[in-house]
């Protein structure tokens, strides 16, 4: 069996995990770079703490063995962080600021799509709940 799918998964996932992990550290430390970005996009600085904690939890969930349902939530969270950053930069017309969050949002989606079966939820949530038809009692009986 070829290791190519696993190699592709980790080649795409490692940059996302590293960026998210380093971003969490920078957010929690409130370094000047992140403070400057937050001033540019007009976000309150306390949001750095919320994002930092969420990113740490997401990285831990994505690296942990098993826990496929939790990984789904983590992927969604990481995607929303990067998609939200893209939208925030667009909202303030900071065109230069949209490139990297957009790239990482795309890489997150690719990582999610390439994840091996062992990292997938074996029983994903259904889009619509199954509804069993009920029989009305026959009025003739």
Q: Where are the domains of the chain?
A: 4-119
**32-70 pLDDT tens trace:** 999 999 999 999 999 999 999 999 999 999 999 889 999
Q: How confident is the model at residue 16 (pLDDT cuts 50, 70, 90)?
A: very high
Q: How confident is the model at residue 133 (pLDDT cuts 50, 70, 90)?
A: low
For residue 119, the tally of other CB atoms under 10 A from its CB is 20
Q: Which residues contact 52 (CB under 8 A, 6 or more apart)?
A: 23, 24, 25, 26, 27, 28
Q: How confident is the model at residue 20 (pLDDT cuts 50, 70, 90)?
A: very high
The whole-model pTM stands at 0.82
């Amino acid at each position: 069996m070829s290791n190519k799918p696993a190699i592709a998964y980790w080649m795409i996932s490692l940059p996302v995990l590293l960026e998210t992990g380093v971003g969490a550290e920078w957010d929690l430390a409130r370094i000047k770079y992140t403070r400057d970005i937050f001033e540019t996009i007009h976000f309150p600085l306390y949001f750095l703490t919320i994002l930092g904690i969420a990113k740490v939890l997401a990285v831990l969930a994505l690296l942990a063995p098993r826990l496929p349902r939790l990984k789904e939530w983590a992927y969604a969270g990481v995607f929303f962080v990067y998609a939200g950053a893209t939208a925030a930069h667009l909202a303030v017309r900071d065109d230069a600021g949209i490139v990297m969050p957009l790239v990482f949002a795309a890489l997150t989606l690719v990582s999610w799509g390439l994840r091996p079966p062992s990292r997938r939820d074996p029983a994903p949530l259904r889009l619509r709940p199954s509804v069993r038809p009920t029989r009305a009692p026959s009025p003739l009986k």
